[in-house]
Structure 1
Amino acid sequence: MHRFRFKNIWLLSHREKKARHIGFHPNKNLLVGRNHTGKTTVIRSLFETLGAKPQGKLEQWDENATSLLEFSVDDKSYFALHQDGRRALFDTNFNLIVSTSKFGDWSKHFCEITDFNLVFSDKKQAEVVLADPACFFVPFYVNQDGSWQSDWNTFGGMKRFSAPFKPILEYFTGVCPPGYYTASAEKSQHSKVLEENRREYRLLERAIERFSKTIPLSGPKVNADNFSLEIEQLTKEVNQLNVRQEALRNVAVREQELLKNLDHQIQLAETALVAYDSDAKYLFKKDAAPLVCPTCHAEHEKPFLDLLEFAEDARVLRELAARLREDAAEVRKRTQKAFLELSSLNENYLRISRLLDTRKGALKFQDVVGSLGAESAFAAFEEERKHIQNAIDAVVLTVDALETKMNELRSPKRTKAILTDFREHYAASRIALQLQSVSTKTMQLASRPSLSGSGGPRSILAYYASIWRTVQSEMGTYDIPVVIDSPNQQAQDDFNLPAVLKFIANDLPAGMQLIVGLETPTDFIFDHQVTLTEKYAMLNEEDWEPTEQLMEPLLRKMYLTTLSQG
């Protein structure tokens, strides 16, 4: 059973330069003060600091006031800091764990440190969402603004969940304990894996069906040993054919590219020679007009040396063209040789074809090759099918085991035992609170009483007390502080009020932490008492300096981290 305890709370108003520090005993605590002295403010701050906002509003209270709460979970201490919707969580050494103004992020971290794994269906988004701090505290806080009636109106914001109160009570009383939700979460994860495996299996089945229509595996099964020599020969022939064919193709491609380049160069040389012949005829004519530049219109003479150089260039060009033609002829020979060798590979194909036509009795080797290929493919399909089926079987076993565990955790026998205890506790609490006996045979965990008059608050208190006693039993899951704000509801008379106070002080489960707010002192013994006397002045100047020194470094950490995240 997890154990949660309030330890200390500090409240500070920068506007008023005042603060207040209140410590709590691990057992019974009493806050005494007349109306408007601040006891409700202290109590509400316990929950608001942790993200659970009670119904109602505070009068003349600084909305920007800061609260720092020290609490423990299973004897591990934490500090929660809150100001104007921003919250930060620190460990016992004031190391920052999280700082956020987002309620969802805060709820997630709160549920992690408390191991609170209850989930609900969200009304708006129709999906599974994690419970929040209000769900954690709602069975254990009786506030004066919403808890003493027949409806659950303790905290705001809970209407976003779909019918949350029955699951909450079942969670804490052990009807549907945390282990159930842990197993449910694991089952959900494995179910997703199972669905994925089954989807993959269905896809494989469709692939096999299509493959069977394309390459049917029909007729007699063949024995590859009968054709072992032929298979070996076929493999050798095919490998040689592929290697030689690839080499010849590479040679043919290279030679064709070289021949193409040579032909292009020859064409360029021949074109240049044609142009030379035309120019030479003009230059060597005796009566030819002088050369005139087409750009500057300057006239140029035709010296004899220039004419010789021009003729020499033509001679070199003719020799180059001749060599290119020789090279091209050699490349054509090599190209033709490569294509002839490629053509000769047809003999290999004919040889393989004859090999495939080899018969053993009425069975052709071609049939063996095709059959072996199909058999290999189907064998691979079958291996994959077995692999997926084994994975499916393993996940199914895990899901079945988790379902068995969930059924055991929420067995009818267990539920009946818890309900029996709850009903007996309610009947006994009514007697202790001086209410008439009623039949409880059909009473359920979420069946809040609806009784008018002064008996209404006492029946509600009896109902809450029966929940607390059931939670404190061996099948309960959490030990959470019980907080009761102003039990003197509906003008309890001098006969019933002492019975209520006696019941709260003496008859509630021993060992649990109790915080009670009362208007007047009582003779019943509490382990720790805080008395508030000044109206609208619960904070004081004496606590300002030590509280401000404690809070200021934490506020800086909270806001610096929030700014960096934003």
Structure 2
Amino acid sequence: MKIFRFKSISLLSHAEKKARRITFSPHRNLLVGGNHTGKSTIIKSLFITLGAYPEGKLSRWDVGAITLVSFTINEKNYSVLYQKPLRALFDDKGSLLFLTFKDGEWGTYFSQLLGFNLALTDKNNETVIADARAFFLPFYINQDGSWFSGWNTFRYMGQYKSPVPSVLDYFTGVKPPEYYELNSMRRTKLFSRADIVRDKLLVEQVRLRLSNKLPLSGPKVVPEAFEQDISRLTSEITELNAKQEDKRNELVRLRETVSSLFLQIQMADEALRNYKKDTRYLQSDHDLDLTCPTCGAEHNKIFFDLLSFTDDARVLFDLSVRLKEDLIDAQNKVRLKEVDLKILNENYVRINKILEIKRGDLIFGDVILGMGGEAASLAFEEELSELKSKIKEINIEIESIDADIAVLVSRKRSSEILSNFRISFEKSASLLNVSFENSKKMNLSSRPDVSGSAGPRSILAYYAAIWSNCSGKYGSFSVPLVIDSPQQQGQDEENLPRMIAFISSHLLGNKQIILGAEATTQETFDHVVRLSAEYRLLQEDEWDEVKDIIDPFLEKIHKYTIEN
């Protein structure tokens, strides 16, 4: 079982010159504070940084703030820095592993890093690998939507068609990661077999046509067909030549765009390097005062603040980043055009060679005449025999894969998981003072729809039943359980403590728990973060400490963007 754990989150706002760093225990964590003190901001920022956007807005939050989330996968440390739209992944030594400005690229890379191979169907009926939204979906109760009967946890889930059943089947073990590995192998084998079957049909068709035109009694050459071939090939090569000219013109324009972008980037980077030299000089210890060239006034180091070099450098850095993103797009277009041109050129050369042969003394009919119908028929039979043998081998491999898949998705296994889910739900509902009559008819995706204050408690019991199976013998991932604000729909003085006690004591094992709550509790948590001031999550007195943590990562990103 792979174990994912949050280690810390650092938040920093250059606009406000404030920051905050929160660390997490690998076990039970409590974020406690009233409304607008930052509980949900911390929790939502964890997921946003990793590519999943929770429902709900961050009120009065600096959208340009930097977040740095550190986590472990099987005890190996990683960190992700996020400043919209940039995401950068670093390893435990601080080395930059991946950088992108696009959510889609990040989602693919993050799933590969996790070994999260769940395949979903998107709205275009295409199979895609799920991303962070699906990975965290069963393990996060978002105060903005998750406490009700719908799966309104993350935004943009409409990209997929009915993702929830597949996600739950994956994590509970109904269709575990091994199923998707085998299914991928099976699809590959099916594609290979389809290619070979097409080749076999083509050979059979050619053999049939040849047998009709070239009886075994003797070969036959048709001059009219030869003349038609010459005319067709000449027309094709003329058309290809025109297409080549169009592609070359497009390629010239794209290369001019790339050259222009290179020049703009060099100018921006050169200006940025000059700013950095000036900034280091102004920050250095020297005895000379600075003299204004206009008025002659002398200034001490406070003059550095007036120059606003930091803000100017940041503007140049953002410009350089945007230019490099445009450069990458332009270079990709150039490569695609070069590939298109290469294919056209290869076809041009191929057809030209055929045309030269056709126009020469060597005529295909002479070859057939030399071989004889019987020799041609023998060659076809040998080819068909080889193709049939390959098809048989692939069929045996597919049957073996089907047998392995059948074991993974057996009815006995599914029934066992569903039974454990229902038993766990009944037990959790009882502990949470919820009466639920239809538990024996529940499926994994059957979220309760209960009105009143019992609704949130029934939802918590439902999630607990899911989590119990995810950490059971068929589970494949251990993911943090994140619960934001259980004080929903008027939980009274008896039931709210009951919910917090359930979270603190019942959800044990190797799980990491992060609970955001409004009221203090007598229950024991391994790490408690107390938040008190409204709209003041970030603190001035933490600015220097957090900036010292984040700056080395920014330096590496900056160096990478300049060098690439």
The corresponding residue for 2:68 is 68
Letter in 2 for 1:557: K
Equivalent pair of 2:134/2:167 in contact (CA under 8 Å): yes
The corresponding residue for 2:365 is none
C-alpha distance 484-442 of structure 1, shift in aligned 2 (>3 A): same
Give secondary structure in 1 for the equivalent of 2:515.
strand
The corresponding residue for 1:495 is 494
The corresponding residue for 1:521 is 520
* TM-score between both structures, scaled by the size of structure 2: 0.71
The corresponding residue for 1:10 is 10
Identity of aligned residues (%): 44
Give secondary structure in 2 for the equivalent of 1:150.
coil
C-alpha distance 451-559 of structure 1, shift in aligned 2 (>3 A): farther
Equivalent pair of 2:216/2:372 in contact (CA under 8 Å): no
The corresponding residue for 2:482 is 483
Deviation readout 1:39-65 (Å, 9 max, x if unpaired): 111111110100101111111111111
Structure 2 distance, partners of 1:564, 1:453, is 59
Letter in 1 for 2:374: E
Structure 1 distance, partners of 2:31, 2:2, is 26
Q: Who wins on radius of gyration, i.e. which is larger? A: 1
Is structure 2 residue 156 aligned with structure 1 residue 163? Answer: no
Equivalent pair of 1:485/1:518 in contact (CA under 8 Å): yes
The corresponding residue for 2:206 is 207
Structure 1 distance, partners of 2:495, 2:516, is 17
Structure 2 distance, partners of 1:372, 1:131, is 56
CA offset at residue 557 of structure 1?
3.3
Deviation readout 1:356-398 (Å, 9 max, x if unpaired): xxxxxxxxxxxxx999943332222121111111111111222
CA offset at residue 543 of structure 1?
2.0
The corresponding residue for 2:277 is none
CA offset at residue 150 of structure 1?
0.4
Letter in 2 for 1:97: L
Letter in 2 for 1:122: D
The corresponding residue for 2:400 is 401
Structure 2 distance, partners of 1:523, 1:63, is 36
C-alpha distance 401-7 of structure 1, shift in aligned 2 (>3 A): same
Equivalent pair of 1:29/1:528 in contact (CA under 8 Å): yes
C-alpha distance 410-559 of structure 1, shift in aligned 2 (>3 A): farther
Structure 1 distance, partners of 2:557, 2:121, is 32
Structure 1 distance, partners of 2:19, 2:115, is 32
1:209-358 equivalence runs, <5 A: 209-217=208-216
CA offset at residue 198 of structure 1?
0.2
Equivalent pair of 2:217/2:373 in contact (CA under 8 Å): no
Gaps of 5+ in 2: 219-367
Give secondary structure in 2 for the equivalent of 1:113.
helix
Give secondary structure in 1 for the equivalent of 2:390.
helix
Higher deviation after alignment, 46-55 or 126-135: 126-135
Structure 2 distance, partners of 1:178, 1:509, is 24
CA offset at residue 21 of structure 1?
1.1
The corresponding residue for 1:439 is 438
CA offset at residue 536 of structure 1?
1.2
The corresponding residue for 1:122 is 122
The corresponding residue for 1:27 is 27
Give secondary structure in 1 for the equivalent of 2:540.
coil
Deviation readout 1:309-359 (Å, 9 max, x if unpaired): xxxxxxxxxxxxxxxxxxxxxxxxxxxxxxxxxxxxxxxxxxxxxxxxxxx
Letter in 1 for 2:479: I
* TM-score between both structures, scaled by the size of structure 1: 0.71
Letter in 1 for 2:96: L
Gaps of 5+ in 1: 220-368
Is structure 2 residue 43 aligned with structure 1 residue 43? Answer: yes
Letter in 2 for 1:386: S
Give secondary structure in 1 for the equivalent of 2:394.
helix
Deviation readout 1:533-557 (Å, 9 max, x if unpaired): 1211111123211211221232243
Letter in 1 for 2:208: E
Letter in 2 for 1:428: K
Give secondary structure in 2 for the equivalent of 1:542.
helix
The corresponding residue for 2:237 is none
Letter in 1 for 2:20: R
Structure 2 distance, partners of 1:421, 1:527, is 29
Equivalent pair of 1:427/1:438 in contact (CA under 8 Å): no
Equivalent pair of 1:7/1:71 in contact (CA under 8 Å): yes
Structure 2 distance, partners of 1:546, 1:141, is 30
Equivalent pair of 1:19/1:541 in contact (CA under 8 Å): yes
Equivalent pair of 1:469/1:509 in contact (CA under 8 Å): no
Deviation readout 1:186-206 (Å, 9 max, x if unpaired): 111121111000000000111
Letter in 2 for 1:154: T
C-alpha distance 417-557 of structure 1, shift in aligned 2 (>3 A): same
Give secondary structure in 1 for the equivalent of 2:440.
coil
CA offset at residue 213 of structure 1?
2.1
Q: Alignment length, in residue pairs?
A: 415
The corresponding residue for 1:87 is 87
Structure 2 distance, partners of 1:506, 1:413, is 31
1:386-465 equivalence runs, <5 A: 386-465=385-464
Structure 2 distance, partners of 1:377, 1:397, is 31
Give secondary structure in 1 for the equivalent of 2:412.
helix
Equivalent pair of 1:12/1:539 in contact (CA under 8 Å): yes
CA offset at residue 37 of structure 1?
1.0
Structure 2 distance, partners of 1:412, 1:21, is 48
Higher deviation after alignment, 141-150 or 181-190: 181-190
Give secondary structure in 1 for the equivalent of 2:523.
coil
CA offset at residue 403 of structure 1?
2.1
Structure 2 distance, partners of 1:152, 1:75, is 30
Structure 2 distance, partners of 1:406, 1:487, is 40
Higher deviation after alignment, 105-114 or 31-40: 31-40
Structure 2 distance, partners of 1:558, 1:109, is 18
Segments of 4+ moved more than 4 angstroms: 369-372, 559-565
Structure 2 distance, partners of 1:120, 1:564, is 37
Letter in 1 for 2:197: R
Structure 2 distance, partners of 1:418, 1:218, is 70
Structure 1 distance, partners of 2:417, 2:541, is 49
1:350-369 equivalence runs, <5 A: none
Structure 1 distance, partners of 2:409, 2:421, is 16
Equivalent pair of 1:101/1:562 in contact (CA under 8 Å): no
